[in-house]
Amino acid sequence: MPNPSAEQSYRTLLIIWAALLFSQFMFVVLIWFSKPELFKFDFSQPLLGDNAVIVGVFAMLSFSDIVISLILRKKTLERSVAEQSIPLVQTAMIIGCALSEAISLFGVMLAFAFNYQYFFVFSILGVIGILLHFPRRSDVHAASYRQ
Domain-embedded: residue 147: no
Identify the three-state secondary structure at position 24. Answer: helix
Neighbouring CB atoms inside 10 A of 126's CB total: 30
**Mean pLDDT score, 24-44:** 88
Mind listing the pLDDT tens digit for each residue in 89-139?
A: 999 999 999 999 999 999 999 999 998 888 999 999 999 999 999 999 999
pLDDT tier for residue 3 given thresholds of 50, 70 and 90: low
Kindly report the pTM of this predicted structure.
0.86
Q: Please give the residue that has the higher pLDDT: either 34 or 145.
A: 34
How many Å apart are CA 139 and CA 135, to the nearest integer?
A: 8
Residue 9 sits in which domain range?
4-38+47-142
In a domain, 96, yes or no: yes
The CB-side HSE value for 103 (13 A sphere, CA atoms) comes to 30
Number of domains in the chain: 1
